[in-house]
Structure 1
């Protein structure tokens, strides 16, 4: 592909990404993969260049662009070399016409910018949300004896964490294939550490998804005790079993929940858990480094639904913890509605619980919990609070 053809390819992909964002369709990485699967003529360098152009445009535009061309023109407005490729020759994009729509630069849609400001996130800091994320891994201590780490990494602040350059092909390493390491952001690893899971305990992961945090808890428990992974998404939860087998994690029980009827499936665990992790569904504003188009998908109505779901899940989790036990609340969000305010609301509703500030090597206190962020801590954005039942 010529440089101009790569720009045109990125424009075509961006049209699909924009349409999917408006319709809550497939994520950008999947759309990019699908686009190339039907275009075998593109080599590895072409795929990498087109992908970088597409993500560069996504990160550059605050509001949802009108078209993929408008998004790429935002990049061209700041890069003369890209602008010169709009020459209309061959498979290159048509020549730029004076006055045609150019997407606006910015962090996010205006309503989200205002929510960040209200949550104490400075604009200069928030810009780090659109940086490229590193590749973090967690050493799986269940299989640590057979560990041979890939070269090029350095220790992170997580107890068993390492960090690699983002382009590292970690999944091709022997350590990954053998289950000795797992890809997991440092911030995510740290939130698992707040649970302080120990061998022999009964631990519940109430929103387990595909089980990334469940596997971290299993390693902390050294495969001893009872570990229960719950979720309402059958497809995501089904991915845990093969991941657990690869990691050597045993004794994990999975429970598929019916939305709105969670307690009916969890009655046998009432008052039995030493700790419950609530990694609640949220806006994902802390993960934009990895999913920058997500900021085009979120609406105020969706945010309100997330907040309501989080409150309900916290109230459910409180009924599962034994006296003296603990509840850890996590969201990958930097908005106070899904963080400090949510934690404060829980404490008001449950006077028999108290907050214990998480003891982590990084993080900034925010209300009853800690905020982790890319600009202060080099992690994805998280809020984590730990509650203890009196």
Structure 2
């Protein structure tokens, strides 16, 4: 592909991403994959170059652009090489008209920025939310040695995380499946709040594809009882093959029926040493990885997440034994989903208390800790450890 053809491909993909963001369609990475699945002629360098253009344009545009062309013209305004590709050639974009729309630069849409500011995330810190994310992995201690993986990959240790490595961007980790799991350092840090130990009974209530489930199993040395539940069949179905590759045998997937979760969960009532609630949320802390997600979030959608989080915490509380812990995690920097949720829980359940956390990163926020890209170099998370009193 010529540089002009790459720019036109980026515009076509950006149009699809913008339409999906407005209509609740597929994520950008899915759209990129679908685009190239039908264009086998594009080589790996072409795919990489187009993808970089797409994501650079997405990260630059705070408000959702009028079109893919407007998004890329915005990028061209800062880069003469990109501007030169608007040459009107057969496979390239038309020459830029001085009067046509240009996507404005910004970290995020105005109301999202205001909501984050109210939650103590300053305008300067907000820019880090759409920066490039590093490639972090968790070495699976059940099957691999950290030093050996570090020597093999050139990975660098991450302070405070003995099983974590930060790899160079683009490192191919597929040959290491089972030995390592791609997992942001922040996700690994908040998982430590569970204090998982061999022989415990732990419920991972919103397990999804099982990233934190596998981390818990490794911390438990694959000994004990680990129940992984979710209402999403497709996501939960990913756990079994991942667990097999990782050598994890204690993780028991349990599919829940949305709205009827309590009937199934009653079998574990009052018996769990720890219940991990990695709750559904706005994902503001992961916008580095999914920058177009900031275009999707609406006040109404945020309200739905807040209600879901309260519902899930209400399901989790009865499962914890006296003296046990509920670990609440959201990959969000908004207080409505983090500190405020914990305060509401403690008011509703007076026989619980928050336990102070000491983790390798994070700053106190309400009754928990908050990690963010600007201060910790990780994805954004809020975590709290709540203890059921005897």
- 1:167 equivalent in structure 2: 170
Q: Report the alpha carbon displacement of residue 144 of structure 1 after superposing the two structures with TM.
A: 2.8
- 1:18 equivalent in structure 2: 18
Q: Does the 8 Å CA contact 1:65/1:103 hold for their aligned counterparts?
A: yes
Q: Report the alpha carbon displacement of residue 254 of structure 1 after superposing the two structures with TM.
A: 1.5
- 1:72 equivalent in structure 2: 72
SS of residue matched to 2:358: coil
Q: Report the alpha carbon displacement of residue 18 of structure 1 after superposing the two structures with TM.
A: 0.6
SS of residue matched to 2:336: helix
- 1:59 equivalent in structure 2: 59
Q: Are 2:158 and 1:153 aligned?
A: no
1:165-210: per-residue Cα shift (whole Å, max 9, x none)?
Answer: 22111223xxx13x12111111111111110011111000000001
Q: Distance in 1 between matches of 2:101 and 2:367?
A: 46
Q: Report the alpha carbon displacement of residue 232 of structure 1 after superposing the two structures with TM.
A: 0.1
Q: Does the 8 Å CA contact 1:146/1:180 hold for their aligned counterparts?
A: no
Q: Does the 8 Å CA contact 2:275/2:326 hold for their aligned counterparts?
A: yes
- 2:183 equivalent in structure 1: 184
Q: Distance in 2 between matches of 1:75 and 1:146?
A: 40
1:129-170: per-residue Cα shift (whole Å, max 9, x none)?
Answer: 111111111111111359831322100132311111221112
- 2:333 equivalent in structure 1: 334
Alignment of 1:224-239 (within 5 A): 224-239=223-238
- 2:250 equivalent in structure 1: 251
TM-score by length of 1: 0.97
- 2:279 equivalent in structure 1: 280
Q: Distance in 2 between matches of 1:77 and 1:338?
A: 37
Q: Are 2:42 and 1:42 aligned?
A: yes
Q: Distance in 1 between matches of 2:118 and 2:339?
A: 12
How many equivalent residue pairs?
A: 386
- 1:131 equivalent in structure 2: 131
SS of residue matched to 1:90: coil
Q: Does the 8 Å CA contact 2:146/2:163 hold for their aligned counterparts?
A: no
Q: Distance in 2 between matches of 1:118 and 1:189?
A: 27
Q: Distance in 1 between matches of 2:147 and 2:165?
A: 13
| Runs of 4+ in structure 1 over 6 Å off | none
1:313-347: per-residue Cα shift (whole Å, max 9, x none)?
Answer: 11111110000000100000011111111111111
Q: Report the alpha carbon displacement of residue 312 of structure 1 after superposing the two structures with TM.
A: 1.2
Q: Does the 8 Å CA contact 1:136/1:183 hold for their aligned counterparts?
A: yes
- RMSD, aligned CA: 1.2
Q: Distance in 2 between matches of 1:73 and 1:268?
A: 58
Alignment of 1:201-220 (within 5 A): 201-220=200-219
Q: Distance in 2 between matches of 1:296 and 1:203?
A: 36
Q: Report the alpha carbon displacement of residue 10 of structure 1 after superposing the two structures with TM.
A: 0.3
> Which structure 2 residue ranges, 5 or more long, are not aligned?
none
1:237-269: per-residue Cα shift (whole Å, max 9, x none)?
Answer: 111011100000012211111112111111110
- 2:270 equivalent in structure 1: 271
SS of residue matched to 2:197: coil
Deviates more, 1:198-207 or 1:157-166: 157-166
Q: Does the 8 Å CA contact 1:147/1:180 hold for their aligned counterparts?
A: no
TM-score by length of 2: 0.97
Q: Does the 8 Å CA contact 2:139/2:146 hold for their aligned counterparts?
A: no
